[in-house]
Amino acid sequence: MPEGHTIHRLARDHATWFAGSPVRVSSPQGRFADGAALLDGRILEGTDAHGKHLFHRYADGQIVHIHLGLFGRFFVHDSPAPVARDTTRYRIVGPERSTDLVGATACELLTDDEVEIVLARLGPDPIRTDADPDRAFAALQRRSVGIGRALMDQKVLAGVGNVYRAEVLFVHGIHPELPASALGRERFDALWATLVAWMRRGVRERRIITTDPSEIGRPRSRMRRGETTYVYRQQVCRRCDSDVRRYDLAGRWAYVCESCQPLPGTVAA
């Protein structure tokens, strides 16, 4: 599943390519045919992202809400656009580029009020400059589940996925099973600052890199597969060479180095 930085990147790219002039909108697959008919020829005024939710704001208050889910993705073409594959739910054609959305969990027209309902269910998004970390901290304080599980809850923090989750807990030495409510304010603030820095950089660089170039021995731009994370999808910890433990946490793999991230009350073997 894409993490929040991917959605923010899409929002920026779509604004760059399409905003400000009328676009052609269609739904070759047909499931968004009514919405597309309403939008076709309108001006896309702007885009927005909150966590894993993407919004396209068209003239006259029409808003498209997109959630990619596990399988959704946008394909991009230079204009003129090729014949669309028949699974294309939502196609936008601008003067220079076009994009085709396939496989998304949600692609729908929403009213302002309905958008507010979607946003009200989401915690603060570290990429957004209007994010309020106090809300995330308060939500964690109310949860007795492990911090690893709580971080994936979009009501607590919006946009954090499996990679950032595993890595941010690693660099702060926090075991995913530490009760969320046991994370003190100081450690939360440090964790939040890391997420802000990583996720905003992820938007710019279009990839997730959490390792420090000085530890890897090459700049981020030249890092190879397997060098970009400390524990995520690693067999051994990149820092201490201990085995990385992988286990199922609410349907997603958690990765933890139990030497670098001991549970309080336990002693690393």
Q: Which residues bind Zn ion (CB under 5 A)?
A: 237, 239-240, 242, 257, 259-260
Residue type, 100: D
Residue type, 251: G
Exactly one of 9, 28, 52, 124 is catalytic; which is it?
Answer: 52
128 versus 238: smaller Cβ distance to Zn ion: 238
62 versus 242: smaller Cβ distance to Zn ion: 242
Question: Smallest distance from the beta carbon of 148 to Zn ion, in angstroms?
Answer: 16
Question: Smallest distance from the beta carbon of 169 to Zn ion, in angstroms?
Answer: 12
Instruction: Tell me the two tokens of residue 203.
Output: 């938007």
Q: In which order are the strands placed within the sheet that holds 62-67?
A: 44-50, 53-58, 62-67, 106-110
101 versus 256: smaller Cβ distance to Zn ion: 256
Question: Smallest distance from the beta carbon of 180 to Zn ion, in angstroms?
Answer: 22
Respond yes or no: is residue 12 known to be catalytic: no
64 versus 171: smaller Cβ distance to Zn ion: 171
- d(C-alpha 221, C-alpha 155), whole Å: 33
Respond yes or no: is residue 176 known to be catalytic: no
CB-CB contact of 39 with 47 (8 Å): no
- d(C-alpha 173, C-alpha 182), whole Å: 14
55 versus 170: smaller Cβ distance to Zn ion: 170
Respond yes or no: is residue 252 known to be catalytic: yes
DSSP three-state, residue 66: strand
DSSP three-state, residue 62: strand
Helices and strands (DSSP H and E) totals, the chain: 8, 10
Half-sphere exposure of 10 (CA within 13 A, CB side): 27
Residue type, 142: R
Exactly one of 2, 179, 213, 262 is catalytic; which is it?
Answer: 2
Question: Smallest distance from the beta carbon of 260 to Zn ion, in angstroms?
Answer: 3
Exactly one of 233, 239, 252, 258 is catalytic; which is it?
Answer: 252
Q: What is the DSSP letter of 1?
A: -
Query: Which residue's beta carbon is nearest to the bound Zn ion?
Result: 237
Question: Smallest distance from the beta carbon of 27 to Zn ion, in angstroms?
Answer: 49
Respond yes or no: is residue 187 known to be catalytic: no
Q: Which residues are catalytic?
A: 2-3, 52, 252
